[in-house]
Amino acid sequence: MKILIVLTYYAPYTSGLTVYAVRQARALAAMGHQVTVLTSQHERTLPVEENLEGVQVIRVPVALRVSKGVIMPQMPLQAWRLMRSADVVNLHVPQMDAALMALLARWRKKPVVLTYHCDLQMPPGWVSQLAGFGAKLVHHLSARLAQAIVQNTWDYAEHSNFLRRYLDKTTVIRPPIINESVSDGEVQAFREKYGIQRGERVIGMVARLAEEKGVEYLVEALPEIQQKEPKARVVFVGAYENVLGESAYREKILPMIGALGDQWIFLGILSEKEKAAFYHVCDVLVLPSVNSTESFGMVQVEALICGTPVVVSDLPGVRQLVREKGMGEIVPVRDSAALAKAIINVLKRDMRLDPAMACNIAQQYTPETVAEAYADLYRQVKEDHG
């Protein structure tokens, strides 16, 4: 099957949405499908065309940026050309071009699958708010034109002001998770490389340094945690410099983090192998996200697969895994005191996931399993579309 995946950002850009799309595309290509990704050339140094692990990536130059969105005048021409040979078009939203892509697909008589990652939350300012209003209209039009919509959980779909209008065409497919195995020696090497001592209580967080991730609530919770757990320390993995659209938040949060000294360390972006070692080092992983731009939190699956319990915000979709597996705590949104209490409880209980349960979780979320579900859906919409 010839699959065209369209989204705003793709590798090497890193976010939950792009990580999902990269794993999905590579797994589909490994199954023998012809996969093409149409995306932005978000950095001018990136090639306009390349093959990444069996996936043909076409990048369109960016003429203008609006908040985190991009304007690409050449996008419609490239999409029209690529849709000609595609069997199905898969749009990943949020995406400002989604409605136009869906319209082009209709004119090309190609079925559309919409992967809806999260509701849109725009930063303050009339320009951003106007862009957000326009994007919501775009997404509604693309949803109406799509033959099927994919979301990670029914919990999120049923609570989303956007998705609840389209539940009749919504399908749940779990997100793709990579499970890298690591040896005890590799975990020890990771400790030595980053100066993490045995006996420390490691509170992990994996995210971009972005406002919706609720980093300040973990910062505020740490002093209270250390009253009960003096050796507690936060280790933050992910992009924390030059995060697109987050410069103001970075200026606000870094002085707060700096006041903690070596009780908070940034490791930056890690390889999948190092990230697995990181999860094994962690005593708990925290997701203090604050709004519906976080619809699941794939990192919590990665942590559970490595046996590490989680503490997550009480948000639709994000809370689902703890509800199902019971390995962690769910806390109210934007409540640093409740967050501190939950982390202390998990550390006291010294929870580690049973290996058999961890293996079961891993099997449910493999990229191959996800790709098979997508392939079945693609075949269904193609057949229904005639």
Number of Cβ within 10 Å of residue 210's Cβ equals 23
Partnered with residue 202 across adjacent β-strands are 233
pLDDT in tens, 89-104: 999 998 888 999 999 9
DSSP 196-210: --TT-EEEEEES-S-
Position 254 scores a pLDDT of 92
Residues 6+ apart with CB under 8 A from 185: none
pLDDT value, residue 132? 63
Identify the pLDDT of residue 136: 74
Cβ(205)–Cβ(309) under 8 Å?
no
Q: What is the structure's pLDDT at 124?
A: 62
Cα 30 to chain centroid, rounded: 22
Under 8 Å between Cβ of 59 and 39 = yes
**Any idea which architecture 184-364 has in CATH?**
3-Layer(aba) Sandwich (3.40)
Query: Which pair of tokens denotes residue 3?
Result: 């699959």
- At 270-319, the pLDDT tens digits run 999 999 999 999 999 999 999 988 999 999 999 999 999 999 999 999 99
Please give the structure tokens belonging to residue 339: 């967050």
- The C-alpha atoms of residue 178 and residue 87 are separated, in whole angstroms, by 27
Nearest by Cα to 205 from 129, 90, 285? 285
Helical axes 215-228 vs 247-258, angle rounded to 10°: 10
CATH of domain 2-176+366-385: 3.40.50.2000
State the first-to-last Cα distance of the chain, in angstroms, to the nearest integer: 15
Best CA proximity match to 234, nearest among 263, 197, 256: 263
Q: What are the CA-CA distances from residue 233 to residues 121, 200, 208, 310, 317 (Å)?
A: 31, 7, 19, 15, 27
Write out the DSSP string of 57-87. EEEEE--EEETTEEE-TTHHHHHHHHHTT-S
| 3-state SS class at 369 | helix
Identify the three-state secondary structure at position 327: coil
- Region(s) of the chain under CATH 3.40.50.2000: 2-176+366-385, 184-364
DSSP structural state of residue 317: T
pLDDT in tens, the chain (386 residues): 999 999 999 999 888 899 999 999 999 999 999 999 999 998 899 999 999 999 999 999 988 776 667 777 899 999 999 999 999 999 999 888 899 999 999 999 999 999 999 987 655 665 565 666 667 788 899 999 999 999 999 999 999 999 999 999 999 999 999 988 899 999 999 999 999 998 899 999 999 999 999 999 999 999 999 999 999 999 999 989 888 778 888 899 999 999 999 999 999 999 999 999 999 999 999 999 999 889 999 999 999 999 999 999 999 999 999 998 888 999 999 999 999 999 999 999 877 777 777 888 889 999 999 999 999 999 999 999 86
